[in-house]
Structure 1
Amino acid sequence: MKEYYFATEFRMSFNQAEKTVLSALSNRGFGVLTSIDVQDTLRGKLGVETPPYKIFGACNPQLARKALEAEPRIGTMLPCNVILRETGDGRVEVAAIDPVASMQAIDNPSLTGIAHEVRALLQAVIHDLSGHAQREASPQAPEDDLIDAASEYSFPASDPPSYMGGAAVAGPPPEEQDKTREPVTRAPSAPEEVKPTKDCP
């Protein structure tokens, strides 16, 4: 079956995930027109208990206006639904409708470009949220934490410590003495310059 949604799954509490999803939608230009608490609705109407499940009606105002101008009855398919549901073991799934797939039944070429614009934005939302799944899949090792903590106080590679008299000194090593300066002592350059001392035999 052809996919009609984009989704990602990661470990996070449901309440925190809801805040994270709403923030991700806002960052990509979506407002949330509706929020349906499916768990609460089914509990109240049917007296049944289900895992936490919410449906958010996401809308990008500029693109919604373009879609309504191109197809006045497109409102029957708006807003774009994004779901958040608990999957167990402290994990949640976020899924968004693929507007290109949902609008294929409408014979209006003017909607094609708009649908692709909305699809790109919703895919970006899911991609942003996928970062939580990637961090979960690649946890930092404890030794990496120690390295990161120690690096706060380490010297940069371009500025190593120098050692003077056995004591570490922060900063670059002292500049070398000018090699062109004449040394304090020198070897005699001619035999007549050698003068014996009084104690010599």
Structure 2
Amino acid sequence: MTYTLATSLPLPWAEAVERTREALAAQGFGILTEIDVRATFGKKLGAEAADAVGDYVILGACNPALASRALAAEPEMGALLPCNVVVHRNDSADSTTVEAIDPQTMVQLSQSAAVKEVADDAGARLRRVIADLEHAAE
């Protein structure tokens, strides 16, 4: 089983990041955290490591209603929140990749019917995010 929902977009990195934010917001997700991996690697590991990873951001996306339901069902689900969405592009690439964690990975770790419902809802929303990005990039 693959653990991400992904697409490649024929867009510059900065535009893909902005469109990803907009598509997530349209599905009720806010951004709780943002990690600029390139900048972090540059600071901690040097320019060579930063250049090797390319433009790379991890967005910690959260839909509060879904997170509340997941935590009510199993408080341990907090270790899997927020949903990570990655936007990355190598310097030599002609497209930008957007990947979101597939919420069905939660189902593999839990036997709870309530967690499955949340994962199904979150997965449907994240699939719409990916589809909206693909449609907007056409």
TM-score, normalised relative to structure 2? 0.90
Q: Does 1:131 align with 2:121?
A: no
Q: Are 2:9 and 2:16, in contact at CA under 8 Å, matched by a contact in 1?
A: no
Taking only the aligned residue pairs, the percentage that are identical comes to 39
1:3: Cα distance to partner? Answer: 1.1
1:97: Cα distance to partner? Answer: 0.8
Correspondent of 2:60 among 57, 76, 95:
57
Question: Which structure 2 segments of 5+ residues have no match?
Answer: none
1:132: Cα distance to partner? Answer: 4.1
Residue 37 of structure 1: aligned partner:
36
Q: Secondary structure at the match of 2:2?
A: coil
Residue 100 of structure 2: aligned partner:
96
Residue 118 of structure 1: aligned partner:
122
Q: Secondary structure at the match of 1:103?
A: helix
Per the alignment, do residues 33 and 99 of structure 1 end up closer, same or farther by CA in structure 2, a change over 3 Å counting?
same
The residue identity in structure 1 corresponding to 2:26 is N
1: CA distance between counterparts of 2:110 and 2:61?
Answer: 20
Task: Give the length in aligned residue pairs.
Answer: 133
Residue 13 of structure 1: aligned partner:
12
Residue 89 of structure 2: aligned partner:
86
Q: Are 1:10 and 1:132, in contact at CA under 8 Å, matched by a contact in 2?
A: no
Q: Are 2:8 and 2:98, in contact at CA under 8 Å, matched by a contact in 1?
A: yes
2: CA distance between counterparts of 1:55 and 1:95?
Answer: 10
1: CA distance between counterparts of 2:136 and 2:28?
Answer: 20
1:89: Cα distance to partner? Answer: 3.4
Q: Are 2:87 and 2:96, in contact at CA under 8 Å, matched by a contact in 1?
A: yes
Question: Which structure 1 segments of 5+ residues have no match?
Answer: 136-201
Structure 1 vs Structure 2 CA RMSD: 1.3
TM-score, normalised relative to structure 1? 0.63
1: CA distance between counterparts of 2:129 and 2:54?
Answer: 23
The residue identity in structure 2 corresponding to 1:42 is F
User: Which protein is bigger by CA-based radius of gyration?
Assistant: 1
The residue identity in structure 2 corresponding to 1:71 is E
Range moving further from structure 2, 16-25 or 120-129: 16-25
